[in-house]
Amino acid sequence: MIRGVRGATTVAINTEEAIISAAEELLAKIIDVNQIQPDSVASVFISTTDDLNATFPAKALRNFADWTYVPVMCMQEIPVSNSLKMCIRFMIHVNTDLAQEEIVHVYLNEAIKLRPDLGNRMSL
C-alpha cells in the first residue's frame, strides 16, 4: 500500500546553504523514524513558501545514498495570509505495510506549529 509521510521545517534565511541543510535534516529524520528505504519510495513532493527561492530543496535528496532515481518535484505553496513563512514541506509517497496511524510525520523548528498533534510522536 502507498502511504504519505509528511514533514515540514523552517529556515532562518533564504540561502542555498540554509535550504539544503534544512531539507537534509528533515529528510534524514523522516527516513530514520519511518525506516524508509529509497526503493520503496514512489515519489517525493517538496513545497516551499514564496519567500524561499534561493535553490531547489530537492537537491538535498541527491546527497543521500541510493536516492538518485527517486522521482522528486518542487513546487510553491499557495500564499495564504498569515501562514507560516520560510517553510519547506515534504510529502513522501512510500510503499509500506504500516497502518496509517503508524506513520510518523516529522515537524521541526517553527513548523511544529503546523501539526502539533502529529509532530510530537517522534523521539529525536
Rounded CA separation 24/78 (Å): 23
Q: Which of 3, 24, 110, 115 is catalytic?
A: 115
Please indicate whether residue 69 is annotated as part of the active site. no
Phi first, then psi: give them for residue 47, nearest 5 degrees: -120, 155
Q: Which of 6, 25, 87, 121 is catalytic?
A: 6
Q: Which of 62, 69, 101, 102 is catalytic?
A: 62
Pairing of strands 72-76, 41-48: parallel
Please indicate whether residue 87 is annotated as part of the active site. no
Residue 41 CA from chain centroid, whole number: 13
Q: Which of 77, 87, 102, 121 is catalytic?
A: 77
Please indicate whether residue 121 is annotated as part of the active site. no
Q: Which of 89, 101, 102, 110 is catalytic?
A: 89
Which residues are marked as active site?
6, 62, 74, 77, 89, 107, 115
